A and B are shown apart, each in its own frame.
Chain A
């Protein structure tokens, strides 16, 4: 089953669809729908980032909403106080989230699974409190408004402004493609394989010469950086950042996207981001209900579909093709043989 090896035909179709997606704004006239699509792209980048550490490396974080926030606030502060444009605030956001991601990863990943969850939870809460209370820097509960859109790009005779939702879309799409590309390149390398080995069996991975801690911290940092970049894009897209966006529930939302779409899958992250963005827009009036539903969904997913929608699709595909139905008997076999 070399499912990862796509045929030329499939590759060409993917490329055509990829290019065709740039034409989407011409088909959509309603700016609100365009706004939702843009949000999906930002969330897709967040989910891709979180999936790197949760799905591919097996380390659960419930603090990635904070990295999103740090990226957004860094861009907002640099743009407003220093007066730099998006093209310069973005690298700032990336560097700052990478640095903080490294520090949090370095401290948090010394801990085992359950404690990492608690450490990231604490981190997320602290960052939110900083946004809320460091009024001089962050504007407190009011946040920072008036963040300028990225300056218009002039290429030959053409002008590419970023003032409207329709204009901003191609920029976001490029970043999502970049995120997908980086994810693919990393996963199909010694580093990415080391991550999946750690996820599956840390002890065996280490016996193969994989430096477990270093690999985890590196991936955590990259993962935080994805969220930082998404934050900068978000700040310049909405022109305003405020603390209530970057609460614990943001972290849970991103995690739910990864879980529902399917951990360790690029398509899964994007599907999860799409479903949750649309549903949270639909449930906009009742945020309490939203969290209740997400919590319930996570439990259902973990219990019955640990690999999410993409896992389900694969199972159906395999059944359909009548070959290689995965039988989970090995674990039973292994448990049958005790210690000496």
Chain B
């Protein structure tokens, strides 16, 4: 498939995952895997369980059944911060920024795994502490320049335009140095120009060797950006494959358009 070594290795494997809320099966016996360096899209109608799936992968909620593996580590039911340590970072469907922080401060939070939260080095400002702080700040400069927010670093993040707020969130996620980046409808509510710019950003992120798992509604975005698509409906996997296959798959058309149109 590719000359790059390790392209086909699975970075994330979801095995027979189930989660029910009361009687509603949000995710039902779902299995799929994400290969390294892929841009893997999860699509499906509203309420298909996509966001639940993300919350399961990132440990916000625990599954009733099934396993989630990152490389060969079992991360099922681990705490979100533990899962973040394994190199999984995310953005949220409804942008979650820190209300009182500037862009720089917000992204600085993302470097927690680099700087750590130890008390004694902080109180005595050890050489190691200073070194890490410097590294963290250099890294943020790099990331903010990369996402195009360096000039706005001293603005309050919550004051920026919607599109730029999303960029702050992505920058914060990148600051954790992730191997796998989960994007939950990153282009929802954006205009075409913003969407296009973000898509460019995502492929640049991907080129840096970060695997992307993305939830999206915009079929154009999914078809252009991703190289693997998993379609889910009612918490179950409908089909999976590269965009060319998915676009015309009868089950997908049916899920999106309804049976009558599919037959027409």
Q: Which residues of B are found within 8 Å of A340, using beta-carbon distances?
A: 46-47, 50-51, 93, 185
- In the bound complex, do residue A204 and residue B165 qualify as a contact, i.e. CB atoms below 8 Å apart? no
Most buried by A among B89, B109, B123, B154: B109
Q: Which residues of B are found within 8 Å of A81, using beta-carbon distances?
A: none
Task: Identify which of residues 187-205 in chain B touch chain A, using a CB-to-CB cut-off of 8 Å.
Answer: 188-189
Task: Check if A47 is an interface residue, CB within 8 A of chain B.
Answer: no
Among A115-123, A190-198, A285-293, the stretch in contact with B: A190-198
CA distance A176 to B58 in the complex (A): 42
Task: Check if A206 is an interface residue, CB within 8 A of chain B.
Answer: yes
- In the bound complex, do residue A189 and residue B122 qualify as a contact, i.e. CB atoms below 8 Å apart? yes
Q: Which residue of A lies closest to B217 (CB)?
A: A340
The DSSP consensus for interface residues of chain A is helix
Contact with B along A211-253 (1 / 0, CB 8 A): 1100100100000000000000000000000000000000000
Partner of B165, one of A185, A200, A212, A330: A330
Task: Check if A153 is an interface residue, CB within 8 A of chain B.
Answer: no
Among A65-73, A96-104, A132-140, A331-339, the stretch in contact with B: A331-339
Partner of A334, one of B58, B95, B175: B95
Indicate whether A207 sits within 8 Å of B89 (C-beta atoms), given known contacts A2-B154, A200-B100: yes
How many residue pairs bridge A and B at CB < 8 Å? 132
CA distance A205 to B96 in the complex (A): 10
Q: Which residue of B lies closest to A209 (CB)?
A: B84
Q: Which residues of B are found within 8 Å of A2, using beta-carbon distances?
A: 154
Q: Which residue of A lies closest to B215 (CB)?
A: A340
Task: Check if B80 is an interface residue, CB within 8 A of chain A.
Answer: yes
CB distance from B68 to the nearest CB of A (A): 16
Task: Identify which of residues 301-336 in chain A touch chain B, using a CB-to-CB cut-off of 8 Å.
Answer: 324, 326-331, 333-334
What are 20 contact pairs spanning A and B, CB under 8 A?
A: A185-B123, A189-B117, A189-B129, A190-B111, A190-B115, A190-B132, A191-B118, A201-B99, A203-B60, A206-B84, A208-B110, A209-B84, A211-B81, A211-B117, A324-B156, A331-B99, A339-B51, A340-B46, A340-B47, A340-B51
